[in-house]
Structure 1
Amino acid sequence: MNWLQLLSHKRPGETKSVSHDQTRSRFEQDFDRIIFSHPFRKLQDKTQVFPLPEDDFVHTRLTHSLEVSVVGRSLAKNAGAHLLNKYPDLKDSGYTVNDLGGIVGAACLAHDLGNPPFGHSGEDSISSFFLTNEKGLFFKDKVTDSEWKDLTTFEGNAQGLRILNGKGNGGLKLTYATLGAFTKYPLSSSCDKDKERKSQKKFGYYQCNADLFDEMASEMGLVQLGESKWSRHPLAFLVEAADDICYHIIDLEDGCRLGLVSFTTVKELLAEIIGENYSEEKVQKIASQHERLGTLRAMAIGQLIQECSDAFIRHEEQMLDGTFDTDLTSLIPSSGALKKIIQLSIDKIYRSKLVLEKEAGGYEVIDNLIEAFATAVYAKYFEKPLPKHKSVLRLLPEEYEVQLQNVDSVYEALQIVIDFISGLTDSHAVRLYKTIKGYRLPV
């Protein structure tokens, strides 16, 4: 792979070459398009870890995505300064560190767009409906084997790529470079996975986006590793690192603010990352615990940005030939401290009563919603709907009804249902569930 191809500012479907505008680059346009998009705005009411938080400091998917974008931009600028010195043709073509920052910043901003309500329990619920619910299993012989694989292994990353390229979202049409950096798992759901490669832990696109991904991979010159799978775009490693840094450190911060983890424990863990720049005397001079926590978090993130930037630079040539395939945070001096944070978060935060209650409720809500809408859509467009099916479909927003009128396969219809369900906010999902179950009838 080479960087001039990898930094392609063309958009899918474009045939004419477009000059690189340094005043407002296409990568900055990508960032702006995501910010103003409807799917991005809905992240403000989607669970990050803690459900429907009342504490102002607890993060939602929106604040998490904004923070990941800031960290990713810093990582990319650090790496970009090195790349521009190493590859003069990038400078000659008009690229700057701001372009690298723009690509990674936009990809980070979009990295959670495909996540459904209620976090990972929402993902599991969609897959479980088709795997274990009798009404979901009904669809198995109505789709192909590869389509069934998509339905039974719902993946937020693949859903995100579908959203970014869907006609129903204002036609975002992001550049190839941003889409490449966004794609952490450049393979389809039906591929055999190599467990040694981090980029094959999950999958990154559905069958409906297979042609698009072929086009992306060809345009950017990604290394093909087999049928329907490629090496990562190198900048995807920075997007992954930014996400890892934020959720490790920020989830720990949120856990402390909610009283699940003691401040002393958090301070010791973050001090281990900060290293020689840590000063207990300066920490004690800060007025409140909230401020002390914020200062330590900022210093730890700054240290991790530097360490991950250095790791990227060390392995950049291996990324270009497709042989490097692991997460940057496992290769840095602070990797041991991060492992301690991960284990503590699992024990004290992710298994806390707040989170477990959210997961249990999420399964119930999502399972019932997808059952109601998938059954009603199939009845209307492929059989004969009953009155109850018609009532459920009246709750479907107009844009989805318009899309369904043009479907010619059960798979396509079910994907539109999944678009709707996964696109709901937590609050909307709960209200809709109560409506369908009859809990919100007027008295």
Structure 2
Amino acid sequence: MMRWKSLLSRKRLAKPVRDPELPYRSAFEIDIDRITFSTSFRRLSDKQQVHGIGGSDYVRSRLTHSMEAARVGRSLGTWAGREIVERYGGEEVGATPFDIGHVVAAAALAHDLGTPCFAHTGEDIVSDWFRGSAVGREILSGLPEQQRNELRHFEGNAQGFRVLTRLQGWRATGGLQLTAATLAAYSKYPWSAPGDDGRPRPHPRKYGFFGSERALFREMAEEVGLIPTGDDTWCRHPLAYLVEAADDACYRVVDIEDAVKMRMLSFADAESLLAPLVVVDRQEYDEIDDEDRRLIYLRARAIDRLVHDAAEMFLERLPELMQGRPCPALLHMTERATALQAIEQISYTRIYRGQQRCETDIVAARTITTLLDAFGEALLAREDAGPGADLPRRFASLLETMPTIRQMPYDRPSWVRGLVDYIAGMTDRFALRQAQLIAG
């Protein structure tokens, strides 16, 4: 059985002593501030949510989606937090409902920081390149099996944990040095990639950290008291279910709203999908004489209803979650699950696989492949030449565009990490410009 006082640990990763409590700002609010001011967070403004380059200025980016998810997460966490404190007692919990809300908000704010350029399409293209290209396979041949699997199945959640704990911030260790509670709530998939193709994992594709961050993840998991369930595998932090629900509630609903703005769906389509999620005040609704305003009404009411549903389901399943038992996504178990499945089906067929999205995916594939081909070939040549050696001008000039090239090691496992960090960290437009420059 996990304990709330441990689950809500304020100890910061890779820091030997706990920071003193401030009278005007909690440790979890500081987490929110550190995430908000990070470079990776700012870059989300130019990373697609669903609609990328060529989309309307109205539709959401990963940045606006993350901010919306954080606000929903705050409400979910605070609501659930009141009941947690009542059930378990203030002394056992060691935090206020508002503290719990801030933990969920911080984790939701960070949940997309590892998203590469062109989002999930980018993940697939990186994976495909390492599996299928000649340069990618040559690179893999010199890597340990664990890292080969990570690259053949590149995962943004694991990249996000790396961003938070190693790549961001000015500190020598621990990255942003967030609290263990926030990092654990962030960790939707608390296990590593399989070391070989035969090792089972709780999810067939998803995982939460790379081998390079194994020790950092273990430190965090032990601090909050996550229950080990296997080799490099732990149960989820209970609040990770609320982070997941905040993300689900936002993107399921707002992807429909954005699709109307992009004219991928009609207003009538959106109304028929969103109306089953809410109890519409018919008189109030009929008095709204503008479709845009009606869409706003439906979106706001739908998210509010899903917040209620998720909080109630979380509290119902809380005894099981505290024992470390796995649970389906909260919104998949509510009365509105059928309506959400209808939204998911339409989203897949008419939004995520629609004409406009396919055109963006074509651009993404060409862009990322061009970058990986060029930088992968150049870094292989650099490895072969060794420190201090002269490289052909075409390689030397290209590598000089990488900000970290002078600090990049020559051993392959390390420089491959650096290469993927660089490509994944790019915004969509920066990646496109760099690929165009390379292609001439």
What TM-score do the two structures reach when normalised by structure 1?
0.93
Contact conserved, 1:157 with 1:204, CA < 8 A, in 2? yes
Give the Cα separation in 1 of the matches to 2:98 and 2:54. 35
Matching of residue 106 in structure 1 with residue 103 in structure 2: no
In the TM superposition, 1:248-397 aligns within 5 A as 248-275=252-279, 278-383=280-385, 385-397=391-403
Give the Cα separation in 1 of the matches to 2:91 and 2:266. 48
What's the counterpart of residue 246 of structure 2?
Answer: 242
Give the match's secondary structure for 1:138. Answer: helix
In the TM superposition, 1:180-199 aligns within 5 A as 180-190=184-194, 192-194=199-201, 197=202
What's the counterpart of residue 141 of structure 1?
Answer: 141
What's the counterpart of residue 33 of structure 1?
Answer: 34
* AA partner of residue 420 (structure 1): Y
* AA partner of residue 215 (structure 2): D
Pairing partner for 1:217 from 210, 214, 221: 221
Contact conserved, 1:185 with 1:201, CA < 8 A, in 2? no
* AA partner of residue 102 (structure 2): G
Give the match's secondary structure for 2:141. Answer: helix
Contact conserved, 1:9 with 1:20, CA < 8 A, in 2? no
Give the Cα separation in 1 of the matches to 2:125 and 2:420. 11
Give the Cα separation in 1 of the matches to 2:200 and 2:328. 14
In the TM superposition, 1:8-27 aligns within 5 A as 8-21=9-22, 23-27=24-28
Give the Cα separation in 2 of the matches to 1:388 and 1:46. 29
* AA partner of residue 61 (structure 1): R
Contact conserved, 2:273 with 2:343, CA < 8 A, in 1? yes
Measure how far apart 1:14 and its partner are: 2.0
Cα 1:44–1:92, aligned 2, differ >3 Å: closer, same or farther? closer
Give the Cα separation in 1 of the matches to 2:141 and 2:10. 41
What's the counterpart of residue 72 of structure 1?
Answer: 73
Cα 1:317–1:19, aligned 2, differ >3 Å: closer, same or farther? farther
Give the Cα separation in 2 of the matches to 1:154 and 1:141. 17
Cα 1:46–1:371, aligned 2, differ >3 Å: closer, same or farther? same
* AA partner of residue 253 (structure 1): E
Give the Cα separation in 2 of the matches to 1:182 and 1:168. 16
Give the match's secondary structure for 1:139. Answer: helix
Measure how far apart 1:108 and its partner are: 0.6
Give the Cα separation in 2 of the matches to 1:391 and 1:187. 39
Measure how far apart 1:258 and its partner are: 1.7
Structure 1 gaps, min length 5: 439-443
Give the match's secondary structure for 2:229. Answer: strand
Aligned residues: 428
What's the counterpart of residue 128 of structure 2?
Answer: 128
Measure how far apart 1:324 and its partner are: 2.9
Deviations 1:89-137 (A, max 9, x none): 44773x1111111111111111111111112111111111110000110
* AA partner of residue 391 (structure 1): S
Give the Cα separation in 2 of the matches to 1:2 and 1:207. 28
In the TM superposition, 1:156-171 aligns within 5 A as 156-170=156-170, 171=175
* AA partner of residue 351 (structure 2): I
Pairing partner for 1:233 from 210, 228, 237: 237
Measure how far apart 1:396 and its partner are: 1.1
Give the Cα separation in 1 of the matches to 2:93 and 2:108. 27
Cα 1:339–1:92, aligned 2, differ >3 Å: closer, same or farther? closer
Contact conserved, 1:315 with 1:324, CA < 8 A, in 2? no
Per mean C-alpha deviation after superposition, the further-off stretch among 47-56 and 65-74 is: 47-56
Give the Cα separation in 2 of the matches to 1:193 and 1:363. 30
Give the match's secondary structure for 2:278. Answer: helix
What's the counterpart of residue 43 of structure 1?
Answer: 44
Measure how far apart 1:16 and its partner are: 2.1
Contact conserved, 2:78 with 2:98, CA < 8 A, in 1? yes
Per mean C-alpha deviation after superposition, the further-off stretch among 7-16 and 309-318 is: 7-16
Cα 1:390–1:161, aligned 2, differ >3 Å: closer, same or farther? same
What's the counterpart of residue 119 of structure 1?
Answer: 119
Contact conserved, 2:40 with 2:168, CA < 8 A, in 1? no
Measure how far apart 1:402 and its partner are: 4.1
* AA partner of residue 415 (structure 2): A
Measure how far apart 1:236 and its partner are: 0.6
RMSD of aligned alpha carbons: 1.7
Contact conserved, 1:61 with 1:112, CA < 8 A, in 2? yes
* AA partner of residue 264 (structure 1): A
* AA partner of residue 426 (structure 2): L
Structure 2 gaps, min length 5: none
